[in-house]
Amino acid sequence: MKRALITGITGQDGLYLAELLQSKGYQVFGLIRGQDNPKYDLVRDTVPGITLLKSDLTDISSLVRALELSDPHEVYNLGAISFVPYSWENPVLTTDVTAKGVLNLLEAIRMWAGTDLSRVRFYQASSSEMFGEVREVPQTESTLLWPRSPYGVAKVFGHHLTINYRESYGLHASSGILFNHESPRRGPEFVTRKVTQAVARISLGEQKKLVLGNLDARRDWGFAGDFVEAMWLMLQQDEPEDFVVATGVAHSIRDLLDVAFGEIGIEDWTPWVGVDERYLRPAEVTHLIGDATRARTELGWQPSVEFDELIRMMVASDLIEQELALVRHGASR
Ligand code: F7E
């Protein structure tokens, strides 16, 4: 039986990847951080049968212990501080977790595996935020990196370190440069979920206004469930390599608002949406769009969910969640 170890198990990607690996017969181990983590039950309920190990990317001894306990064939490093605005408020912590965490994990793998690094394969969750002030459109694996946030800078470190461990030690290490990917499991701080949650609440009369930042930013948004498939495919290749994972289609925040509000029968969303500069970023990434030709041709990967369908799926899920919340609230009165 194959064994996989996933950091960042509590996030949307961790959950989708754990489900995918279990469906393929893997024994899955997830690293969970902190004492009494409030997401512990969510992970156990979503992925029954998973083994959760207490560990932290900033604590190398906890990583070595987790590797010893799980003895994995594949390690997926999805753990990070991933909310870009937070990285300006906490740049040192972001660097410790999102950048140095990769170093800790790779060094822990070397300590645990000793001279036999061929026993394990490594996936690093790199990000389209690394392209930042884009040097070409669309972006490929060879586009110059020009990060625009402490988060982006930290991801560049992890990306190059992954390549360096492949080249220095022959580790089967691949970096997936993933463009934005969303789902009903997305955290409500990210713009897609912020919008779909607000739209559901507006439709139920529970919210009057949705306040956002830059409505002109464009992103290449895909479905997280599709993107974790690409992660797994990368580790099944004979040779490790880096891959852009993207849909190749970009939309603006205005397009997102059109589709989400359209789902509840509102064509003109302008009376419902406000803009506040507190949601603007010190340095913005305005136009990301990926070219996933390599992933398509070498991995045979392609996205199955288009933008409109993704946003409709998220609105439908949020409507159910908000209705249930109303019922619960009514029952507790
Ligand atoms: O912002 C604009 C905002 O926070 C998308 C992470 O998974 O993907 C994600 O990073 C865009 C930006 O995601 C609001 O200015 C406007 O241009 O949903 P987001 P992100 O920063 O692109 C990459 C690939 C990652 O790796 C990251 O970990 O939307 N925007 N108004 C807003 N964004 C937010 N959050 N909230 C607003 O009110």
Question: 220 CA to middle of ligand 1, Å?
Answer: 11
pLDDT at residue 61 tops 80: yes
User: How many Å separate Cα 231 from the centre of its chain?
Assistant: 11
Please tell me the distance between residue 22's alpha carbon and the centre of ligand 1 in angstroms: 30
Ligand 1 atom closest to the Cα of residue 211 is: 38
Ligand 1 pocket check for 213: Cβ under 6 Å? yes
Looking at residues 56-65, what average pLDDT do you find? 98
User: Which sequence positions are flagged as catalytic?
Assistant: 127, 129, 151
Say yes or no to pLDDT of 110 above 80. yes
Supply the range of the domain harboring residue 311.
Answer: 191-219+250-283+307-332
The answer for 174, left when phi > 0, alpha when psi is -120 to 50, beta otherwise, is beta
The CATH number of the domain holding residue 328 is 3.90.25.10
The mean pLDDT of 23-38, rounded to a whole number, is 95
Name all contacts of 62-71 with Cβ < 8 Å and 24+ positions apart. Answer: 63/31, 63/104, 63/105, 63/108, 64/108, 64/111, 64/112, 66/5, 66/29, 66/31, 67/5, 67/108, 67/109, 67/112, 67/113, 68/112, 69/29, 70/3, 70/5, 70/29, 71/3
Q: Are residues 161 and 115 in the same domain?
A: yes
Q: Domain with 139 in it: what CATH number?
A: 3.40.50.720
CB 177 within 8 Å of CB 126 = yes
Any atom of ligand 1 within 6 Å of the Cβ of 74? no
Q: Are 125 and 257 in a shared domain?
A: no
With the most atoms of ligand 1 within 8 angstroms of its CB, the residue from 82, 190, 209, 286 to mutate is 190
Alpha-carbon distance of 123 to 189, in angstroms, equals 26
Pair 240, 257 in one domain: no
Q: 145 with 7, same domain?
A: yes
**What is the spatial distance between Cα 182 and Cα 251, in angstroms, rounded to a whole number?**
14
Residue 31 belongs to some domain of the structure = yes
Helical (H) or strand (E) element with 322: helix 307-331
pLDDT band at 9 (very low <50, low <70, confident <90, very high): very high
Residue 256 and residue 268: Cα distance in Å, rounded?
13
Phi/psi for 226 (5° steps) reads -70, -40
277, 209: one domain: yes
Whether residues 27 and 174 share a domain: the answer is: yes
Q: What percent of the chain has pLDDT over 90?
A: 97
217 lines ligand 1 (CB under 6 A): yes
Per-residue confidence band for 140, with pLDDT thresholds at 50, 70 and 90? very high
Predicted pLDDT at 287: 86
| Cα 267 to middle of ligand 1, angstroms | 24
pLDDT per position as a tens digit, 250-282: 999 999 999 999 999 999 999 999 999 999 999
One domain for residues 144 and 274? no
- Give the pLDDT of residue 330: 84
Whether residues 34 and 133 share a domain: the answer is yes
Q: Where does residue 227 fall: left (phi above 0), alpha (psi -120 to 50 degrees), or beta otherwise?
A: alpha
Does the pLDDT at position 331 exceed 90?
no
**pLDDT surpassing 90 at residue 78:** yes
**99 CA to middle of ligand 1, Å?**
19
Q: Are residues 273 and 315 in the same domain?
A: yes
Of 67, 73, 85, 82, which is closest to residue 31 (Cα–Cα)?
A: 67
Q: Is the CB of 175 under 6 A from ligand 1?
A: no
By C-alpha distance, which of 7, 286, 20, 240 is closest to 132? 286
Residue 255, ligand 1, Cβ within 6 A: no
Give the tens place of pLDDT for each residue, 192-242: 999 999 999 999 999 999 999 999 999 999 999 999 999 999 999 999 999
Q: What pLDDT, on a 0 to 100 scale, did the predictor assign at position 34?
A: 86
pTM of the predicted model as reported, rounded to 2 decimal places: 0.97
Segment 156-179 shows an average pLDDT of 98
Rounded-to-integer distance, Cα 303 and Cα 195, Å: 23
Q: Is residue 84 part of a domain?
A: yes
Give the total number of structural domains in the chain: 2
| Residues 170 and 33 reside in one and the same domain | yes
307-320 pLDDT, tens per residue?
999 999 999 999 99
For ligand 1, the distance from its centroid to the CA atom of residue 20, given in whole angstroms, is 26
Per cent of the chain over pLDDT 70 is 100
Given a cut of 90, is residue 333 above it in pLDDT?
no
Structure tokens at 296: 């398509």
Tell me what pLDDT residue 67 has.
Answer: 98
Q: What is the pLDDT of residue 254?
A: 98
Ligand 1 atom closest to Cα of residue 192: 18
Residue 329: pLDDT band (50, 70, 90) is confident
Closest residue by CA, ligand 1 atom 24? 180
Instruction: Give yes or no: residues 155 and 258 share one domain.
Output: no
